[in-house]
Amino acid sequence: MTRPCVLVTGGAKRIGAAIARRFGEAGWHVALHCNTSLVEAEKLAAQLDSAEVIRCDLADNQAARRMIADLAARHGDWRVLINSASVFRPDSATGLDPATNAQAMQINALAPALMAQLFFAQARSANGRRVIQLTDQKLANPNPDFFSYTMSKHALAATVPMLAMTAAVEDRIYELAPGAILASHDQAPEDAERTHRMNPLRRRTSAQEVADAAYFLATGPMASGQRLFIDSGQHLLSQPRDVMYLTEEGDERR
């Protein structure tokens, strides 16, 4: 294979799918990771010029290890790992749910940190290797909702500068921090349209913008260890709750 390879975890739907399409359109071979979304992953793979689907439960660290080792063995130019897979389940700062927390810490923090380490140790590319960890604008603009999710994204963010310090000179690792982009849970489309404009630019950030940012980080000149916000400035605000609850409470403060 002459195409560079990218692995996108959680690549079957939502932001992960937009990222996968962006790389596919640029001529890359796209390895689409999924767990329960196999039908969606196979449908997307069929739309790309060069793609494969890899099913793996990131709650199983040994399965994640095997996925990285298999790709590293099969692809001589595996340049980029993008960890987009994530769980986003509700609990709060006044009611941490241990099961929700354990799952969030595993899928959102431990698994992507482990895979980044294995990628740098095993992947081959003469053009340098790059890891992009998707975090969240909540790192700069916290609120007490989705407590375990936010905690896990802080944990993942803490690993990026440490891994940047130990990576080879030609390698890079980044954080990509999106804001409110797609509807959450059972949020109605009209509510999402309103709440997702609660940012300094008063515009809705698109999944395509996140995908373009991921491609820039994968191919551009940014120094390792940096965080890139794609949120129309949402992280510059102080919002008392997650945006999906703000219109429900009649609070549309900017």
Percent share of the chain, pLDDT over 90: 87
64, 110 contact by CB (below 8 A): no
Q: What is the mean pLDDT of residues 50-57?
A: 98
pLDDT digits 0-9 by tens, 7-38:
999 999 999 999 999 999 999 999 999 999 99
Sign of CA dihedral 3, 22, 19, 82: positive
Least confident range from 64-68, 194-198, 245-249: namely: 245-249
- End-to-end CA separation in angstroms for the chain: 50
Q: Alpha helix locations (H) across 37-80?
A: 38-47, 61-74
Tens-digit pLDDT profile for residues 181-210: 877 767 778 888 888 899 999 999 999 999
Q: Which domains does the chain have, with CATH numbers?
A: 5-246 (3.40.50.720)
Q: Assess whether pLDDT exceeds 80 at residue 1.
A: no
What is the per-residue pLDDT for 247? 67
Which pair of tokens denotes residue 201?
């630019």
How far, in Å, CA of 200 to CA of 139, rounded? 17
DSSP 248: T
pLDDT at 254: 38
Report CA Rg, the chain: 18
pLDDT tens for each residue of 81-115? 999 999 999 999 999 999 999 999 999 999 999 99
pLDDT at 241 > cutoff 60 = yes
Which DSSP category does 129 fall into? -
